[in-house]
Amino acid sequence: MSKVQLPRHVHRVVSRGREYYYYQEGRGTPQAGERIRLPNDPQTPEFWHAVRQAQGVTGPTPTGTIGALIDAYEVAWPTLQRPLSEGTRKQYRRHLKLVRAAWGDLQADQLRPRHVDALIRKIGAEKPGTANNVLSALRAMVGWATGPVELLHHNPTQGVQAFGKGEGHVPWSSEQMEFAEANFTGMLRRFYFLSRYTGQRISDVVRLNPNDVDDGGFCLPQKKTGVKPWCPIFPELEAEMATWPRRPGPYLLQEDGKSQGKPFSTNQMWKAFDRERAKHPILAGAVPHGLRANAVISLRAAGNTALQISDMVGMSVEMIEGYCRHADRKSSGQAVLREYRERKQDETVKLLENGKRK
């Protein structure tokens, strides 16, 4: 059996080639608690619910329910052939909580597409993005449960439609970017330039350090997806980085308070940006993720394909095309306008050469 990360106080015993699992608090100490035998397969709902009962959970803990299925899915994550990143695990846990709240005690084989559709529509009435994330997490779990583990024998998400994704985060305007370059100082300025010219998420920008430089670009596995893009260090960023003192560790370190000199977390960087944005009305509506869109649009305007940009930024081709759609429309329209003007000018010149004027 594949290695499974066992819950606290659960230990595995191998005897005569067979595996056995037990729950015992304080094992090996004078305060050792009762030793409780658990089911033999840690990837089943029964195993997880036995653990919860051993932990003192009161009341019935029926197996075969949606709640039990979620428990089993989370326990199985370390065994998946395509491992989930820690960021994806956090997202799935958060959104499967809504599924558990809606149907935790419902028998899994009773869940139908009409139930899922009703929940997604209800959530999506106010938060379409959250609704899509819930549906995505549920589909991932159902895909696992209907596979070789055979814990579910039908697909309750079949036919359920996600909400439209919209156009993504709004890019910063040229005025906002000019303001940032002229007025941002310290770590916020560094953050702006790293974000603007690498197109990475905050969670990755705060981790960037000199060790990530690889032959003229940054090469860092993304925290959310595990994708490892190669981001060119463009001349604008290179010139800015030349003014930074050389030292080990992340480029971004907190400048004041008890955490002075320590790296930023994603949340701390957001707060620092929020404080600065509140001071300047011109930055209204600007969000750090919008700079990711600016980076993508700039790369597209330079003639790079969506696949090339995906390699540089680590974003899906579909998302890149979504961000660039307006810019592509504008470029296409401008090209038509230039061609039209050139054609009209050529016609006017020919008329003048013939001596015929309207």
The whole-angstrom separation of Cα 287 and Cα 297 is 16
34 to 20, 22, 41, 52: CA distances (angstroms): 16, 10, 21, 15
The whole-angstrom separation of Cα 211 and Cα 31 is 47
User: pTM of the prediction?
Assistant: 0.60
Model confidence over 173-198: pLDDT tens digits? 999 999 999 999 999 999 999 999 99
Show the domain range for 298.
174-321
Model confidence over 265-307: pLDDT tens digits? 999 999 999 999 999 999 999 999 999 999 998 998 888 888 9
Are residues 53 and 73 located together in one domain of the fold?
no
Are residues 5 and 87 located together in one domain of the fold?
no
How long, in residues, is the chain? 358
Are residues 153 and 198 located together in one domain of the fold?
no
Which uninterrupted H or E stretch holds 236? Answer: helix 235-241
**Inside any domain, residue 72:** yes
Identify the pLDDT of residue 252. Answer: 96
The whole-angstrom separation of Cα 307 and Cα 317 is 6
Burial class (CB in 10 A: 0-12, 13-18, 19+), 231: buried
Are residues 122 and 228 located together in one domain of the fold?
no
Q: Which residue has the tokens 């002229």?
A: 182
Final residue belonging to a domain, choices 19, 36, 58: 58
Identify the pLDDT of residue 176. Answer: 96
Identify the pLDDT of residue 354. Answer: 63
**Inside any domain, residue 356:** no
**CATH number for position 255:** 1.10.443.10
**Inside any domain, residue 334:** no
Final residue belonging to a domain, choices 165, 193, 228: 165
- Per-position DSSP letters for 244-286, written without gaps between them: SPP-SS-S-B--SSTTTTSBPPHHHHHHHHHHHHHH-GGGTT-
**CATH number for position 68:** 1.10.150.130
Residue 21, phi then psi, degrees to nearest 5: -120, 140
Are residues 91 and 44 located together in one domain of the fold?
no
Are residues 106 and 152 located together in one domain of the fold?
yes
**Inside any domain, residue 348:** no
Closest CA to 135 of 164, 169, 178: 164
Are residues 296 and 239 located together in one domain of the fold?
yes
- Per-position DSSP letters for 169-218, written without gaps between them: SPPPPHHHHHHHHHH--HHHHHHHHHHHHH---HHHHTT--GGGB-SSEE
Contacts of 179 (CB under 8 A, 6+ apart): 280, 282, 283
Identify the pLDDT of residue 2. Answer: 45
Identify the pLDDT of residue 1. Answer: 46
Identify the pLDDT of residue 331. Answer: 54
Q: How would you classify residue 66: left for phi > 0, otherwise alpha for psi between -120 and 50, otherwise beta?
A: alpha
Identify the pLDDT of residue 86. Answer: 80
Identify the pLDDT of residue 223. Answer: 84
Are residues 200 and 277 located together in one domain of the fold?
yes
Helix (H, G, I), strand (E, B) or coil at 19: strand
Which uninterrupted H or E stretch holds 10? Answer: strand 10-15
**Inside any domain, residue 37:** yes
Are residues 84 and 147 located together in one domain of the fold?
yes
**Inside any domain, residue 152:** yes
Identify the pLDDT of residue 356. Answer: 56
313: Cα separation from own chain's centroid: 13
Identify the pLDDT of residue 60. Answer: 45
Final residue belonging to a domain, choices 58, 78, 97: 58
Closest CA to 165 of 119, 131, 201: 131
Give pLDDT < 70 ranges for the chain.
Answer: 1-5, 45, 57-63, 165-168, 325-338, 340, 346-358
- Does residue 153 contact residue 146 with C-beta atoms inside 8 Å? yes
The whole-angstrom separation of Cα 38 and Cα 47 is 6
**Inside any domain, residue 349:** no
Which uninterrupted H or E stretch holds 90? Answer: helix 86-103
Residue 12: both structure tokens together: 């595995």
Are residues 100 and 209 located together in one domain of the fold?
no
Nearest 5°: CA angle at 16, between 11 and 20? 25
Are residues 193 and 299 located together in one domain of the fold?
yes
Model confidence over 259-272: pLDDT tens digits? 899 999 999 999 99
Helix (H, G, I), strand (E, B) or coil at 143: helix
Residue 63: both structure tokens together: 């197996």
Identify the pLDDT of residue 9. Answer: 87
Q: One-letter amino acid identity for 353?
A: E
For 342, other C-beta atoms within 10 Å of its C-beta total 10
3-state helix, strand, coil in the chain (%, to 5): 55, 5, 40
Identify the pLDDT of residue 263. Answer: 94
Specify the number of domains making up the chain: 3
Are residues 154 and 184 located together in one domain of the fold?
no
**Inside any domain, residue 339:** no
